Amino acid sequence: MNTLELKRVAEIDYGTPEKDAATMVTLDIDGKTVTVPAGTSVMRASVEAGIPIPKLCATDTLEAFGSCRVCLVEIEGRKGYPASCTTPVEAGMKVRTQTPKLAEIRRGMVELYISDHPLDCLTCAANGDCELQDVAGQVGLREVRYGYDGENHLVAKKDESNPYFAYDPAKCIVCNRCVRACEETQGTFALTIDGRGFASRVAAGQNEDFMDSECVSCGACVQACPTATLTEKTVIMLGQPTRSEITTCAYCGVGCGFKAELQGDKVVRMVPWKDGQANHGHACVKGRFAWGYATHKDRMLKPMIRKQITDPWQEVSWDEAISYAAGEFRRIQQKHGKDAIGGITSSRCTNEETYLVQKLVRAAFGNNNVDTCARVCHSPTGYGLKQTLGESAGTQTFDSVMQADVIMVIGANPAAAHPVFASQMKRRLRQGAKLIVVDPRTTEMVKGAHYEADYHLKLKPGTNVAIISALAHVIVTEGLVDEAFVAGRCDAQSFSDWKAFVSRPENSPEAMEAVTGVPAELMRGAARLYATGGNAAIYYGLGVTEHAQGSTMVMGIANLAMATGNIGRDGVGVNPLRGQNNVQGSCDMGSFPHELPGYRHISDIATRQLFESAWGVTLDAEPGLRIPNMFEAALDGSFLGLYCQGEDIVQSDPNTQHVAEALSKMECIVVQDLFLNETAKYAHVFLPGSSFLEKDGTFTNAERRISRVRKVMPAKGGYSDWEVTQLLANALGYPMNYTHPSEIMDEIARLTPTFHGVSFDKIDRLGSVQWPCNEQAPEGTPIMHVDEFVRGKGRFIITQYIATDEKVTQRYPLILTTGRILSQYNVGAQTRRTENVRWHSEDRLEIHPHDADERGIRDGDWVGIASRSGQTVLRATITENVQPGVVYTTFHFPESGANVITTDNSDWATNCPEYKVTAVQVMPVTQPSEWQKQHQRFTQEQLELARIDG
């Protein structure tokens, strides 16, 4: 497709946002009768009627500003020439958009802009994609009477500090779109118009470089800019794209829709899709800019095998690699039994790929030894919500937050981990919604531009359940229960047991104050606000799940929502913020050892029979091994083969040394990945993985929204991931013959009641669809549990607080908690291979000034962190964002070894690791830890064995 064709399929810009009003208004525009919702601008009404009006400062993603005066119209009975973007429609209005006078005024306005604009259109990066150029054409500008010699901005200095976009003030027309995008869309307020009149120019922060300002590099300003003033560096380098494809971001659980804009199969830029139902045209630094990893030189593109991990890797053909892996798996099974091998699915892969891996394990391996990385993040969500509400998924759409009056954020920092949703949440907060934050750290969610938490419950890590019981105590004992909701919708016996439990004095905020460290009055205030403040919605993250009582806390959250009637409609609900792009999907697809797709227990005879007849095999009725059990079995010598797709368990799972020891005992580890990751260093077969740009399929985001992933370039290693699993199944003698992932989704839909209505065709037609999507809900289900809970009556479950075994002692007096920051994505396999490392080039340990002082630690010093599991060394950042007694780090860089320190403790119900609570000691040191030295040696050896320069 050429640029012109691309433009034809480009979304129409209606100039001002759509209005949602009960009253419709009819008016006349250039003789055409137009009917639009009240409050719509004349500009939008006109564009909707197919009558474009020239514009520069207006765009339909931002509120009208009315500064450029290019969009003037004539309105019968009104004096002058009102701006169509700021004039709302009125019934009976007669508007004229094209008159000789208007043409003259518009031409005059554009002439002024052009007189202070470089005339380098032919060599400008925006040539063909510049609204100023377009408008000059539309108004018929042929000459500039003022000449170009007067005072101008043509030599203004460029700011190229941001790795992804450049700012060239010479081209700025001061339309303010970037400033408004940063405020309205992103909510960062990093930009202003500095100076007055002629001197006015866009400035970042306190007139700093973009990189030094509070800019978070979301790119909303770049997208909003109508000229080449703010431009992606890839566009400057490569030129304008010539074709585009709609796809879905492969980073976090927001699941933003994107238009991948390309030249041939080279990505030029990723533009958030305006019709994306999760993101409405917004994106963050990761999805919009950090896609360079897909073509990074570290990509491993050839299959490789080796007998032992001390042998050099041998590049082989796909046939050889697959038949070697299949042969090894069968050899191990013949010698050690069919349960001696298993597989791990990836929450970064598509639904179809995940489904195939679990099918391979159950049907071709003949056991249920399949687990997923969700084990280490949201498995308690699956368990806790299933027990209480009846479905293992969040209850709302993201858009629902715009109806919330009270927002409670627990153990989550969406500004860093789910940035596009955070922008939407912040918009609602700026509109006046109340905010409760439950977090041991003072994150950006506690206070930001034009919002501040009404309550910040800065609890001690590991005491979530104590907090939730205390909140429930207030609600029950102060008569704040929604009795009608509970009576109509919930199980009476479980409610009365729960009510009696939480009413006990030991669950009162006063009693829990000593446990949580949170003043009782704050807990009381937060509980009252949640229960009485109108629509109240809870959003939570891994700060809830990654605890010894993760599942208990999820159930406590559901209890609270049910008790206050905050479930089953817009603006309320229980919303787990899923970490990776397809965590929801990988769980839905039957990745857990005890569940077939759709969360149906493997022991259920009818479900098993359904899959047995579809797959032509007999299924094992016993649940298989979870990931931690696989490690234990490996150490016992009874688990020797593993197929690991798109998951780096050595870096991401807790107690690294334990994981590494277990993997060292295994005889055939098959790693399928983009890069030679930490796990691949223990592997015997390496199968090249494919990035999200190289395959078709679907991802399911945190709202249960299934969106398409579309192949925009051939798989660099030769096969998309689903094809590789299929090759392996066939080599094992279990036939799989899909010709396209849509056929896999058709099979999923046939076998899974909540997916009965899902198909690629339907997703293509609707843009995306939220499951359940079936006969009862043919176009999907935005809000769950509307009239009744999926399990019938909502079930309250008693949430007894039990302190974790991970206790602080004199030897380990601090608590380490871990998390993610904006520029980073999990173990960093992708983001470490992008310019995102410019923001944070290493993992740091955050420590409170008091604890640092006590230990003689200065900002930037190397510090040793020791736990009962191991030791590592990081540099310290001294900050009051953490409370005394708590330290914090990220786990983005393998050499940091954050998970060398984390322990084997885990959630009682699901084995989700207790990453958020590790007792540690921190001391100044001068050299790396023993583990780090050993890791460095091992990495060097492995790179040499793969003949890769270190």
Among the listed residues 27, 42, 254, 563, the single contact to ligand SF4 using CB under 6 A = 254
Rounded distance between C-alpha atoms, residue 659 and residue 935, angstroms: 14
Figure out which of the listed residues 84, 186, 424, 890 binds ligand SF4, where binding follows CB under 6 A. Answer: 186
Q: Is 856 exposed, middle or buried (0-12, 13-18, 19+ CB in 10 A)?
A: exposed
Binding residue (CB under 6 A) for ligand SF4 from 71, 95, 126, 173:
173
If one asks whether residue 574 binds ligand SF4 (CB under 6 A), the answer comes out as no
Closer of 412 and 561 to ligand SF4 (Cβ): 412
- 3-class SS of residue 853: helix
Residue in 83, 409, 522, 596 binding ligand FES, rule: CB under 6 A: 83
Kind of pairing between the strands at 600-601 and 595-596: antiparallel
Q: What mask of x and - would describe binding to ligand SF4 in positions 121 to 160, judged by CB under 6 A?
A: ----------------------------------------
Q: Which of 256, 538, 548, 572 binds ligand SF4 (CB under 6 A)?
A: 256
Report CA Rg, the chain.
29
Q: What DSSP string describes 386-434?
A: HHHTSSSS--S-GGGGGG-SEEEEES--HHHHSHHHHHHHHHHHHTT-E
Smallest CA-to-CA distance from 165 within 202, 120, 119 is with 202
The answer to whether the beta carbons of residues 246 and 257 sit under 8 Å apart is yes
Selected from 42, 70, 361, 671, the binder of ligand FES by CB under 6 A is 70
Contacted by 293, from ligand SF4, ligand FES, none: CB < 5 to 8 Å by type: none
Q: At its nearest, how many Å lie between ligand FES and the CB of residue 65?
A: 7
Does 69 bind ligand FES (CB under 6 A)? Our answer is: yes
**Assigned token pair, 57:** 């400062």
Nearer to ligand FES, 57 or 882 (CB): 57
Residue with token string 């919330």: 404
871 binds ligand SF4 (CB under 6 A): no
> Which of the 8 DSSP states describes residue 546?
S
Q: Which stretch binds ligand FES (CB under 6 A): 60-68, 238-246, 670-678, 918-926?
A: 60-68
| 176 belongs to the binding site for ligand SF4 (CB under 6 A) | yes
Question: Torsion angle of alpha carbons 627, 805, 651, 682, nearest 10°?
Answer: -60
Among 36, 62, 230, 852, binds ligand SF4 (CB under 6 A): 230
Distance of CA 28 to the CA centre of its chain: 45
The least distance separating ligand FES from the CB of residue 126, rounded to whole angstroms, comes to 18
Q: Can residue 216 be called a binding residue for ligand SF4 (CB under 6 A)?
A: yes
Binding mask 275-304 for ligand SF4 (x = CB under 6 A): ----x---xx-xx-----------------
Contact between 55 and ligand FES by CB under 6 A: the answer reads yes
Tokens representing 100 are 């000789």
**Residue 17 sits in the site that holds ligand FES (CB under 6 A):** no
Which one of residues 95, 110, 124, 218 is an interface residue with ligand SF4 (CB under 6 A)? 218
Out of 241, 366, 384, 419, the only residue in the binding site for ligand SF4 (CB under 6 A) is: 419
> Considering only residues 29, 53, 224, 625, which one is a binding residue for ligand SF4 as defined by CB under 6 A?
224
**What is the smallest separation between the CB atom of 540 and ligand FES, expressed in angstroms?**
42
> How far apart are CB 164 and ligand SF4 at their closest, in Å?
9
| 445 contact choice in ligand SF4, ligand FES, none (CB below 5 to 8 Å, kind-dependent) | none
Residue pointed to by tokens 């690699």: 321
Q: Is there binding between residue 75 and ligand FES (CB under 6 A)?
A: no
What does 220 bind: ligand SF4, ligand FES, none (CB cut-off 5 to 8 Å by kind)? ligand SF4
Q: What's the N-to-C CA distance of the chain in angstroms?
A: 41
Please give the single-letter amino acid code of residue 805.
D
Helix 550-563 to helix 492-503 angle, to the nearest 10 degrees?
Answer: 110
Closest separation in Å from C-beta 824 to ligand SF4: 11
Is the Cβ of residue 381 or residue 549 nearer to ligand SF4 in the bound state? Answer: 381
Nearer to ligand FES, 85 or 596 (CB): 85
Task: Choose the contact partner of 177 out of ligand FES, ligand SF4, none; CB within 5 to 8 A by kind.
Answer: ligand SF4
CA distance 868 to 285: 37
Write down the least CB distance from residue 97 to ligand FES, Å: 12
Q: Which of residues 909-938 bind ligand SF4 (CB under 6 A)?
A: none
Q: How far apart are CA 475 and CA 524, in angstroms?
A: 9
Among 85, 166, 471, 919, binds ligand FES (CB under 6 A): 85
Sole window of 215-223, 532-540, 584-592, 864-872 interacting with ligand SF4 (rule: CB under 6 A): 215-223
Tokens representing 382 are 């699956």
Confirm or reject binding of residue 572 to ligand SF4 (CB under 6 A): no
By beta-carbon proximity to ligand FES, the closer residue of 85 and 544 is 85
If the CB atoms of residues 103 and 946 are measured against ligand FES, the closer one turns out to be 103
DSSP for 674-724 reads SS--TGGGG-SEEEE---GGG--EEEE-TTSEEEEE---S--TTSS-HHHH
* 68 lies in the binding site for ligand FES (CB under 6 A): yes
Helix or strand run (H / E) with residue 144: none
Residue 218 binds which entry of ligand SF4, ligand FES, none, CB below 5-8 Å type-dependent: ligand SF4
Select the span of 50-58, 87-95, 454-462, 859-867 touching ligand FES (CB under 6 A): 50-58
Q: Which two tokens stand for residue 554?
A: 């999820």
Map residue 32 onto helix, strand or coil. strand
Q: Using CB under 6 A, which of 202, 262, 529, 666 touches ligand SF4?
A: 202
Q: How far is the CB of 83 from ligand FES (least distance, A)?
A: 4
Select from 568, 611, 605 the least CA-distant residue to 589. Answer: 611
Using the minimum distance from each CB to ligand SF4, give the nearer residue, 701 or 906: 701
CA dist 748 to 351, 387, 737, 742, 758, Å? 9, 24, 15, 10, 9
Helical axes 627-636 vs 656-664, angle rounded to 10°: 50
Figure out which of the listed residues 6, 27, 49, 56 binds ligand FES, where binding follows CB under 6 A. Answer: 56
- For the CB of residue 84, give the shortest distance to ligand FES in the complex, in Å: 6
If contact means CB under 5 to 8 A according to the sort of partner, which of ligand FES, ligand SF4, none does residue 229 touch? ligand SF4
**Which residue stretches of 29-145 are H helix?**
42-48, 100-115, 131-138
Are the CB atoms for 115 and 131 separated by under 8 Å? no
Minimum distance, C-beta of residue 542 to ligand SF4, in the bound complex (Å): 15
Whether 727 contacts 719, CB under 8 Å:
yes
Question: How far is the CA of 63 from the CAs of 15, 571, 754, in angstroms?
Answer: 9, 23, 39
Q: Say which entry of ligand SF4, ligand FES, none residue 190 contacts (CB below 5 to 8 A, set by partner kind).
A: ligand SF4
Whose CB is nearest to ligand SF4? Answer: 287
- Which lies closer to ligand SF4 via its Cβ, residue 187 or residue 623? 187
Residues sharing a CB contact under 8 Å with residue 816, sequence separation 6 or more, in sequence order: 865, 867, 886, 887, 888, 889, 901, 902, 917, 918, 919, 920
Q: How far is CA 821 from the centre of its chain?
A: 12
C-alpha closest to that of 857 among 877, 834, 872, 838:
877
Residue corresponding to tokens 């606000």? 529
Among ligand SF4, ligand FES, none, the one that 71 touches (CB under a kind-dependent 5 to 8 A) is: ligand FES
Cα-flanking dihedrals φ and ψ of residue 452, to 5°? -155, 140
75 - beta bridge partners?
A: 95
Binding site for ligand SF4 (CB under 6 A): 172-178, 181-182, 186, 188, 190-191, 202, 204, 215-221, 224-227, 229-230, 249, 251-252, 254-256, 279, 283-284, 286-287, 418-420
Binding site for ligand FES (CB under 6 A): 55-58, 66-71, 83, 85
